Amino acid sequence: MDNNNIVISKNDLLENANRLHDEKYRLVQICATRVGENVLLDYSFGRDYEFVNLKCEIGQNDEIMSISRVFPPAFLYENEMHDLYGIKILHMTTDYEGSFYRTAVKNPFFPLKEG
Amino acid sequence: MSRRSIVPFGPQHPVLPEPIHLDLVLEDERVVEAIPSIGFVHRGLEKLVEKREYTEYVYVAERICGICSFQHGSGYCQAVEAIMNVEIPPRAEFLRTIWAELSRMHSHLLWLGLLADAFGFESLFMQCWRLRERVLDIFEMTTGGRVIFSVCKVGGVRRDISSDDMKRIITVLDTIVADLKDFERVFFDNNTVKSRLCGVGVLSKEKILELGAVGPVARGSGIKLDMRKLGYAAYDKIPQVEPIIETAGDCYARCLVRLRELYQSVEIIKAAASTMPEGEISVKVTGNPNGEFFSRVEQPRGEASYYVRGNGTKFLERFRVRTPTFANLGALLATLPGCDLADVPMLVLTIDPCISCTER
Amino acid sequence: MSFIKKSPWIIHYDGTSCNGCDIETLACLTPLYDVERLGVVNTGNPKHADILLVTGSVNEQSAPVLWQIYNQMANPKVVVAIGICALSGGVFKECYNVKGGVDTVLPVDVYVPGCAARPEAIIDGVAKACEILQQKLDHEREKKRTRKAVKNNG
């Protein structure tokens, strides 16, 4: 089982997503990880038993394009990332605006700095 | 002129053992849109990795969900073992396979029962759950627990199954198969059952691919996708692991897939029992994980992916699980528009939702 | 269980349980344990129920739901917390979104321990709840009788 990681920049995300969509990949998952003051995003795709993982590191205040127009179920993962990490995602097909998970703490995985 | 109204469905609802909330936009009796709202079961257990050692976290991982608890534990262990390059003994691999298949059996029987309950066939529900108790008895005999087992650990498993016990298990499985044969025709040929299942909630193959659905939902629409084919644990040594597919894509097809998988699981357990090598059941694991890995396993509900990222300390940096229900939520939302309000409980159940998995 | 004069109707709500206790609660109703033979009926309507079974801990989002169910139930009512999470939060106690046990939100009468709580323990808990329900009923009747006596004498 190999993870096939591909490192991309946040501006190439949509382009890569479109390419994978054309190559008949399905969205497996989107995951965010806090790495210091940045957030590492993992977009995983699968085709049959193949696995491809796009890695993209962004700053906490960076905005990123939604891929929910290419892969419809992505809006669930993106709302989740928004609620748990406070990542700003543009043009989601369904935007819950922070009410997807109503957590006791705001952005529990990456609390915003004071001020 | 039809009237629009919104009917809230859940979080407490007689058909759902778990809380999920849907706002159903209706035009008379017909659903036009469904808007989910989740988070009732959100605990935030992924963040707990920062407070628990990676070896202890297995217990938390098992408690992501009480139905597929074994596979959650083994999926997590697999990811950690891959990072640490730990090779677990062959016997442990076979034991994991056996317990995973038993979990699948108990989960599918549970689901068949709940489905029967959703379409109002209570005696069938009781029959399914009566059979399920026999699987739980096997669990109790081999692990000590009925739903949460804690037998999986990083580096192998904690308990062995003796050859005498294995023989007993196979005898029990044979009785389950015999009884299952007896009532499977109720699912297969009963007119009332078929009238509730056939042609309801149809998802085409293309739609499934677009929505990224997994597990029996995908296989019910004719997609050959079963993570067991990746050959994790001992699945690469067992020839019976061929994805079971149906092509109709409706509730009936998904039901048949799960029914047939029950027989398949029995076959796999028997094959594993006959080829299981003797030897150790765990290896000693030293050091701390440093690196990252995505591991994928096939749960009763479909593919689950586990992401583990370690930084060389005994506390992991990130653990993330994408459970099959999360992937199937899109499929659920796609089946609801156009259905009757009275069919909603059936359609919600047809993806076999596990909310505590989904929300973690 | 000869002290029970009433068929207890139960309603079940899953707080943030992992499902383990939920399915064990449901297993109590199915053939092997079959509490229905003792007159226990599982209902989905809070207004029909005497006993509220809660599995799992409580979070911000489920607390109001739980309150709503509890308030809709007719008096007297009994709350049973099932499983270690419902008792104290269990393994998830330190999670950011877990408030703690059910007793942070509702008055709990019976605590059933276990992870997952075994069906035998749950049945025992429900039997205890029946006892408490009867006591509450007796108590209320007594109060009514006293009130009536005071009214008649005064």
> What is the per-residue pLDDT across B186-232, written as a single tens digit (0 to 9) for each?
888 888 888 888 888 888 888 888 888 888 888 888 888 888 888 78
pLDDT score at C111 = 92
Residue B15 predicted with pLDDT over 70? no
Spatial neighbors of A97 by CB under 8 A, at least 6 apart, are: none
Q: What percent of chain A has pLDDT over 70?
A: 94
Chain B partners (3+ C-beta pairs within 8 A): A, C
User: Could you tell me if B305 lies within 8 Å of chain A, comparing CB atoms?
Assistant: yes
What pLDDT digit, counting tens, does each position of A55-66 carry? 888 887 888 888
Residue C76 and residue A88 in contact, taking contact as beta carbons nearer than 8 Å: no
The pLDDT score that the predictor gives to residue B171 is 92
Exposed/middle/buried for residue B277 (C-beta within 10 Å: 0-12, 13-18, 19+)? exposed
pLDDT for C141 equals 87
Length of chain A counted residue by residue = 115
Tens of pLDDT along A19-37? 888 888 888 888 888 888 8
> What is the rounded CA–CA span in Å between residue B159 and residue B151?
6
Mutation site, C94, C97, C98, C99, interface A, largest A CB count within 10 A: C97
| Chain A hits for B305, Cβ within 8 Å | 28-29, 44
CA distance A42 to chain B (A): 10
Confidence (pLDDT) at C78: 92
Q: Give all domains of chain B, ordered by start, each with its CATH number.
A: 44-334 (1.10.645.10)
pLDDT of residue C79: 92
3-state secondary structure string across C15-77: CCCCCHHHHHHHHHCCCCCCHHHHCCEECCCHHHCCEEEEECCECCCHHHHHHHHHHHCCCCC
For chain A, helix, strand, coil in percent to 5 are 20, 35, 45
pLDDT of residue C2: 57
CATH domain C9-153 topology: Rossmann fold (3.40.50)
- Whether A100 maps to a domain, the answer reads no
Pick from C143, C132, C144, C84: nearest CA to C107: C132
The verdict on B309 touching A (C-beta cutoff 8 Å) is yes
In this prediction, residue B296 has a pLDDT band, given cuts at 50, 70 and 90, of confident
- Structural domain includes residue A19: yes
Strand bridging mode A5-7 / A50-59: parallel
**DSSP β-ladder status, B4-9 and B21-27:** antiparallel
Query: pLDDT 10s per residue in chain C (154 long)?
Result: 555 677 888 888 888 888 888 888 888 888 888 888 878 888 888 888 889 999 888 888 788 888 888 998 988 889 999 988 888 888 888 888 888 888 888 899 999 988 888 898 988 888 888 888 888 888 888 888 998 888 888 6
Chain A contact for B291 (CB, 8 A cutoff): no
| B33 at A interface, C-beta within 8 A | no
CATH number at residue A49: 3.30.460.80
Has residue A115 been placed in a domain?
Answer: no
Query: Could you read off the pLDDT of B124-155 as tens digits, one per residue?
Result: 888 888 889 999 999 988 988 888 888 888 88
Chain B (54-113) residues lying within 8 Å, Cβ to Cβ, of chain C: 59-60, 63-67, 69, 110, 113
Q: Do C60 and A102 touch (CB under 8 A)?
A: yes
pLDDT digits (tens, 9 = 90+) for B33-87: 888 777 777 887 888 888 888 888 888 888 888 888 888 988 899 888 888 888 8
Cβ contact (<8 Å) for C62 and B19? yes
Does B335 lie at the interface with A, CB-CB under 8 angstroms? no
List the single residue in B47, B230, B326 with the smallest CB-CB distance to A49: B230
Q: Cα–Cα distance between C41 and B193 in angstroms, integer?
A: 25
Domain residues for the domain of A13 are: 5-90
Integer Cα distance of C23 and C139 in angstroms? 34
Q: Could B17 and C22 be called an inter-chain contact, meaning their C-beta atoms sit closer than 8 Å?
A: yes
**A115 confidence band (pLDDT: 50, 70, 90):** very low
Provide the token pair at C61: 């989002």
User: In this complex, which of B293, B320, B326 lies closest to A3 when CB atoms are compared?
Assistant: B293
C65 contacts B110? CB cut-off 8 A: no
pTM over 0.80: yes
Q: How far is CA A73 from CA B29, B142, B356, C148, in A?
A: 27, 39, 19, 64
Q: Give the pLDDT score at A10.
A: 79
All structural domains of chain C with their residue ranges: 9-153
- Asked if residue B305 has pLDDT above 80, the reply is yes
